[in-house]
Chains A and B, each alone.
Chain A
Amino acid sequence: MRARWRAAGLAVSTVALLPAAWSVIVAMPSFGEHVSPYGAAVNAVVPAARHVSNMVAAVNFDLRGLDTLGEESMLLCAVTGTVVLLRGARGEETSGSAIRLPGRAIAQRSDATILICRFAATLLFFFGVYVALHGLVTPGGGFQGGVVIASALLLLYLGEGYAHWRSIVRGRVLSVLEGAGALLFVLVGLIPLAFGKAAFQNILPLGTFRDLYAGGTMVVVNAAVACAVAGGFTLILLEFMEETRAPETETEPGEGG
């Protein structure tokens, strides 16, 4: 009867917390009427102080760059955890053929799929680079661009099949990309210390307002985040895909590599 107890506990706690939740909801400021002072200060000061026009990217990469470094290391830890969990149980060998599940039909990939995926993946890849590059002037940035690049690399899998895809998208390149992005971010934070300034201070020349490369160190941090996010997401999906591969040899898992 564990499920019954759990559901009963949920019902009791919901009923008990409902008056508290309602009093908090009523005490919140009216929706849309409240102006937050920190946000208003950022909107008023940052375009002249940092010469960028995307306030969200300025907050992410410069004003609160330390928080973004924390998020970046969370990304690194989650990707490392996933890879260790999946690769540790499976071993390091890769193979090119999928496991055939009994009773599942094997569908042939049609030529239209292959062609459209090739076009779309190329376009999407460049769109991701565009979104990442223009992150400081228009909506976009390293996080969005990195995820779009990762999804472009995954669209390639749909068109090419697993063996060809693995030869194009390599695990080691992705690990290096991800690690280099995180390392660059940390360096941008620590190098100003060598010049006697504060950590994460914007030491590069700021450029003109609304220019593509304005913002100083924000441009470098943007690129680093795009690389790290693209590498991390593709690596995660690659590890999951490897789970569905047929083992080539009969070695014990964990003894390979």
Chain B
Amino acid sequence: MSVLPWCVAAWLFAVGIYGVVTSRHYVHLVGCLSVCQSATYVLLLAVGFHWNAGPPIFYDHPPGTPAVDPVVQALVLTDIVIGATVTALLLAIVVQVQKLSGSVDPQRLRPLRPNA
């Protein structure tokens, strides 16, 4: 139990990378990238967690009750929203790839080469 979150974070990242490497559709690839991102969220929030501590909101509880770390929560919060925006940018690139080369299969597309 004391190493479970770190193992889950490493597992999620490895599974995401496996999905990226063996993907046959670019949209599926972008989904696997979001799994990699969620690995970092789990890691950060688990670093800030403390047993028998509440959330860092002092509206109902007086300030001074034990609370978990708010700094990592702030990091993950902005990261989630901005990560969705970057996912949108990646999907726009995928749509352009379909328009320009007619296929969204990563294993059928070759890198661009200058015409000799």
Contact = CB atoms under 8 A, between A and B. Distances in A.
A touches B in complex, CB < 8 A: yes
A67 B7 CA distance: 29
Nearest to A210: B59
B104 interface: no
Contacts, number: 158
Nearest to B62: A47
B33 interface: no
A146 B82 CA distance: 12
Contact of A59 (B1, B3, B71, B86): B71
Contact of A85 (B3, B57, B96): B96
10 contacts: A30-B3, A39-B48, A39-B68, A42-B70, A55-B70, A56-B57, A59-B74, A79-B88, A85-B96, A233-B85
B83 to A, nearest CB: 10
A35 B6 contact: no
Contacts of B78: 60, 67-68, 71, 143
Nearest to A232: B85
Contacts of B10: 21, 25
A75 B85 contact: yes
Interface in A104-153: 137-139, 141, 143-144, 146-147
A232 B82 CA distance: 10
Interface string A56-98: 1011100010011001001100110110011001000000000
Interface string B52-81: 000111110001100111111111011101
B115 interface: no
A42 B71 contact: yes
Given A6-B21, A85-B93, A39 B3 contact: no
A147 B81 contact: yes
A34 B46 CA distance: 10
Nearest to B1: A31
Given A31-B49, A36-B69, A147-B81, A43 B56 contact: yes
Interface of A: 2-3, 6-7, 9-10, 14, 21, 24-26, 28, 30-36, 38-40, 42-44, 47-48, 53-56, 58-60, 64, 67-68, 71, 74-75, 78-79, 81-82, 85-86, 89, 137-139, 141, 143-144, 146-147, 210, 229, 232-233, 236, 239-240, 243
Nearest to B80: A143
Contacts of B4: 31
Contact of B89 (A25, A59, A78): A78
B79 to A, nearest CB: 8
Nearest to B5: A31
B68 to A, nearest CB: 7
A7 B71 contact: no
6 smallest A-B Cβ distances: which pairs?
A39-B69, A55-B70, A55-B56, A47-B63, A59-B74, A30-B2
A56 B81 contact: no
B24 to A, nearest CB: 9
B19 to A, nearest CB: 11
B68 A31 contact: no
B99 interface: yes
B85 A34 contact: no
